[in-house]
Structure formats: C-alpha cells, structure tokens
C-alpha cells in the first residue's frame, strides 16, 4: 500500500506537467483525488484521478451512448460541459440507426450515427467523444485506456495529458 504522503508527490508530479492548468476549481479536484485515493485503498496513484470506467459490451437498448457521455460530463470537473446530450434509435435490435448528439454551451451541435450490430459500442464512438470534448473546451482531450472489453476515459488538458502519459503517470 502506498503511503498517504506519497499522494502529494503524485499531485506535485501532475502539477509539474500542467495537469491542473485547465481546471477551474483546482482545490476541489485535488480534494477529490485524495478521497478517491483513500477509497481505492491506496493501491495505485492513478486511481485517484476521475476516470470513467465502461464496458464496451454494454449496448442493449437506447441510452447507453448518452449515458457514457453524461457520466463523463458529470465526472470531468467542468472540462466537458455540454448543454445537451441525446441518443435516439430508429427502431429496436440489429440494423437500427443510433443517432447520438451533443450540443455545446456555445450552441454547436455534433451528431454521429451508428448502426446497431451487436452489444459492442461502435469503435468510432471514441472519436466522437474526443471531438465533443474538444468542442466544449478546445484545450482538452480525452484519454481512452482500453483493456479487453473494459475501458477507462479521462479528460485533461491536451498538452498535460501527453506529458503525463510520456512520464507514465497513469501507471503509477
């Protein structure tokens, strides 16, 4: 188990790559990190970050694409703040069109349509997520960490996210 004082070292390492530069309420974010670290049992520092976990085999009916976007918005500390997230299906079952839309606070609407083929999220959806995040805040991007059918999404400043990955701060 990691020592509690070491979480501050991790926060300092993130700060050095500019992780908190795009976050409006840095103190709230850091307090949340410390709480998440404690809740995770102090196993890994990167568990202190506000990851959104998902199962890529989750699409059984209308709402799963929108639900993932909504969860990402709720856990992003304001970095992804669309005005509207919506999902509509043209029918039920295989062959249905799935229309996903995001409206930014500035009124820009982004729309993507996918064919329902199975319970897997369409792989192109991750590109849509990135486009939506950047439309809401051009300084930000999303990191999609995939392992098998499970994945994790994390929003951060584009430059800081690159630097943090390079320094392997998401594996500590």
Model confidence over 71-96: pLDDT tens digits?
A: 999 999 999 999 999 999 998 888 89
Q: Is the pLDDT of residue 110 over 90?
A: yes
Q: 10-69 pLDDT, tens per residue?
A: 999 999 999 999 999 999 999 999 998 988 887 788 889 999 998 888 887 778 999 999
| pLDDT classification of 2: cutoffs 50, 70, 90 | low
The residues, ordered by sequence, that sit 6+ positions from 144 with a Cβ below 8 Å of its Cβ are 126, 129, 130, 151, 152, 153
| pLDDT classification of 4: cutoffs 50, 70, 90 | low
| C-beta separation of 77 from 28 below 8 A | yes
Between CA 154 and CA 147 the distance in angstroms is 15
* Residue the block writes with tokens 């709230």: 28
Between CA 146 and CA 104 the distance in angstroms is 26
Q: Is the pLDDT of residue 162 over 80?
A: yes
Does the pTM exceed 0.85? yes
Mean pLDDT of 127-142: 95
Pairing of strands 84-89, 109-115: unpaired
| Between 29 and 122, the higher pLDDT residue | 29
Neighbours of 111 (CB within 10 A): 11
**Per-chain mean pLDDT for the chain:** 90
């Amino acid at each position: 188990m990691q020592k509690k004082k070491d979480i501050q070292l991790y926060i300092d390492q993130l700060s050095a790559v500019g992780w908190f530069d795009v976050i409006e309420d840095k103190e709230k974010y850091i307090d949340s990190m410390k709480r998440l670290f404690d809740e995770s049992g102090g196993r890994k520092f990167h568990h202190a970050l506000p990851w959104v976990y998902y199962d890529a085999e989750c699409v059984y009916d209308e709402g799963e694409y929108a639900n993932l976007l909504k969860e990402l918005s709720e856990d992003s500390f304001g970095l992804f703040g669309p005005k509207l997230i919506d999902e509509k299906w043209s029918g039920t079952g295989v062959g249905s069109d799935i229309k996903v839309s995001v409206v930014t606070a500035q009124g820009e609407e982004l729309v993507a349509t996918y064919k329902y083929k199975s319970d897997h999220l369409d792989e192109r959806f991750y590109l849509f997520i990135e486009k939506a995040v950047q439309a809401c805040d051009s300084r930000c991007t999303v990191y999609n960490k995939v392992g098998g059918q499970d994945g994790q999404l994390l929003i951060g400043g584009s430059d800081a996210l690159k630097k943090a990955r390079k320094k392997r701060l998401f594996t500590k």
